[in-house]
């Protein structure tokens, strides 16, 4: 095995290889030397484990491949044909044209993020969005942070540290990605007091748990699951009345950030931010990139004394929102203020799209695939931790599934080819059928979609 080490080329020899020399036209010499050294060290360890020494050509290929991987933009736009409108893995809510324009405007130069143009003195980034949020929700005050998790963490840290927060046992939930309400409370220094049972909690359970160490009552909306059958949970207005009796604030973690009545679109009612405020919640937390349809953000609205304490807390600086997403959020909120969210915000455009229009688009997609596809009935999911179990009727382009011996190969093959398009197309495979849903694809992306499907068909038939 000692002989294997002798076959390893030197750093100088690899750097002088023609393919690596060509890389020096675009990349620093120091970077290439460091990558060569790293590869040689990895090969020494591999040889020590009993593996043979790779050839010089193999080493050069590996180094060139790593340079390409390091310098290519791996975060790319894709077409979401999965039929999940708020797909967390695909970046949740797409943004309106106006939101993108607003973000671009502040991203490419300086802006008055924390400058009061009237006085010429330092201002607050919260002033750009607070009035909008208060107007839309009826809240006394508002601020925006990085995301909903940091909004909850900030409130618990600032207002309940080393004290107790009472939560229904059925609401001590995990909302995805390992994010658990009890863990957030522990990080904040608050002590979680669970009351009731998984399926039933009553107002008397909260009342019995209140003591001098209690700092708040909290409701957590189960935005990504639903309990069925024998259940009972305390309403927010009852919880608020109890809080008022004991001079305790009520925190309402809504998650989805809804400002429109979802029942208008044939969906189950989703709690709205303005409803929570009107029912007496002291603080309401929600996301910017779910049903609100904006960029990632954590929105906090509520009573002014509580919000003001959050603004002054040191953690507020650590979780503050940046200028680009703030601009996008403001533009999105203006859509709601102007009553144009259904026609401007992509999430609501998808939710409200007529089934007849979706059917026409599905048939156009299927035609571009020739005899490989058919149009079938299906359902679109809202997703993203919003409206658990809520679906909308749709039309799907289905590929494969009829010949069980052959079709799984076709469905998988076409799915892979769509993934490797210039703009990847992401569908979903159910059983041995690839399904593509036009409802989760904006109509302005149809041209790209049809080209991708046409190219895939050409490959299949060749």
Buried b (16+ CB within 10 A) or exposed e, 428-439: bbeebbbbbbbb
Q: Note the pLDDT of residue 231.
A: 75
Tell me which CATH code domain 79-86+348-461 carries.
Answer: 3.90.1150.180
- Within 10 A of 340 (CB to CB), how many other CB atoms are there? 14
Q: What torsion, rounded to 10 degrees, do the Cα atoms 276, 280, 284, 290 define?
A: 0
**H helices present in 340-406, as ranges:** 341-344, 346-352, 355-368
Which candidate, 6, 43, 11, 17, places its Cα nearest to that of 30? 11
Residue with tokens 């979802």: 262
Domain boundaries, the chain: 2-71, 79-86+348-461, 97-344
Q: Note the pLDDT of residue 403.
A: 59
Cβ(414)–Cβ(381) below 8 Å: no
In 177-302, the DSSP E strands lie at 191-195, 214-220, 250-255, 283-287, 298-302
Q: Note the pLDDT of residue 461.
A: 57
Q: Note the pLDDT of residue 184.
A: 72
Q: Note the pLDDT of residue 458.
A: 62
Q: What torsion, rounded to 10 degrees, do the Cα atoms 359, 362, 368, 373 define?
A: -110
Is this structure's pTM higher than 0.85? yes
Q: Note the pLDDT of residue 69.
A: 87
Distance between CA atoms of residues 381 and 84, nearest Å: 5
Distances (CA, A) of 108 to 21, 102, 103: 35, 11, 9
Q: Note the pLDDT of residue 89.
A: 93
Q: Note the pLDDT of residue 171.
A: 76
CATH 3.40.50.720 describes domain 97-344: no
pLDDT, averaged per 10 consecutive residues of the chain (462 residues), comes to 80 92 91 93 91 91 90 91 95 97 97 95 95 98 95 95 91 62 75 87 94 96 63 90 97 93 93 97 97 97 98 96 98 98 98 97 93 93 78 94 65 92 94 94 96 79 55
Q: Rounded to an integer, what is the distance from CA 316 to the centroid of its chain? A: 21
Residue with tokens 């999430």: 347
Q: Note the pLDDT of residue 375.
A: 96
């Amino acid at each position: 095995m000692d002989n294997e080490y002798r076959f390893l080329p030197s750093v100088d020899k690899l750097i002088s290889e023609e393919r690596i020399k060509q890389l020096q036209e675009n990349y620093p010499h120091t970077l290439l030397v460091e990558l060569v050294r790293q590869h040689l060290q990895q090969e020494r360890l591999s040889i020590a484990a009993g593996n043979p020494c790779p050839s010089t050509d193999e080493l050069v290929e590996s180094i060139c491949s790593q340079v390409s991987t390091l310098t290519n933009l791996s975060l790319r736009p894709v077409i979401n044909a999965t039929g999940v409108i708020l797909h967390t893995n695909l970046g949740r809510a797409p943004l309106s044209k106006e939101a993108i324009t607003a973000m671009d405007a502040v991203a490419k130069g300086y802006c008055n993020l924390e400058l009061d143009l009237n006085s010429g003195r330092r201002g607050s980034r919260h002033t750009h969005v607070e009035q909008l949020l208060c107007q839309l929700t009826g809240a006394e005050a508002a601020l925006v942070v990085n995301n909903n998790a940091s909004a909850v963490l900030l409130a618990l840290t600032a207002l309940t540290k080393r004290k107790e927060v009472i939560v229904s046992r059925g609401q001590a939930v995990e909302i995805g990605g390992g994010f658990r309400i009890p863990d957030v409370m522990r990080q904040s220094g608050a002590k979680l007091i669970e009351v009731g049972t998984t399926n039933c909690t009553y107002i008397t359970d909260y009342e019995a748990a209140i003591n001098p160490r209690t700092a708040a009552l909290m409701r957590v909306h189960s935005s990504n699951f639903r309990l069925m059958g024998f259940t009972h949970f305390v309403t927010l207005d009852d919880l608020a009345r109890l809080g008022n009796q004991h001079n305790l604030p009520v925190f309402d973690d809504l998650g989805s950030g809804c400002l429109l009545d979802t029942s208008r679109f044939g969906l189950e009612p989703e709690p709205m931010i303005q409803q929570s405020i009107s029912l007496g919640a002291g603080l309401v937390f929600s996301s910017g990139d779910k049903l609100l349809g904006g960029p990632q953000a954590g929105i906090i609205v509520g009573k002014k004394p509580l919000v003001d304490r959050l603004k002054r807390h040191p953690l507020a600086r650590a979780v503050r929102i940046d200028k680009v997403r703030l601009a996008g959020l403001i533009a999105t909120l203006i859509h709601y203020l102007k009553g144009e969210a259904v026609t401007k915000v992509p999430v609501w455009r998808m939710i409200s799209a007529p089934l007849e229009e979706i059917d026409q688009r599905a048939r156009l997609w299927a035609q571009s695939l020739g005899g490989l596809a058919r149009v079938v009935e299906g359902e679109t999911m809202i997703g993203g931790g919003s409206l658990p179990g809520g679906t909308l009727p749709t039309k799907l382009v289905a590929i494969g599934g009829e010949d069980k011996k052959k079709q799984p190969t076709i469905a998988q093959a076409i799915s892979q080819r769509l993934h490797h398009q210039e703009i990847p197309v992401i569908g979903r495979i159910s059983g041995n059928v690839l399904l593509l849903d036009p409802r989760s694809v904006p109509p302005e992306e149809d041209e790209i979609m049809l080209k991708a499907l046409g190219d895939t068909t050409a490959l299949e038939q060749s």
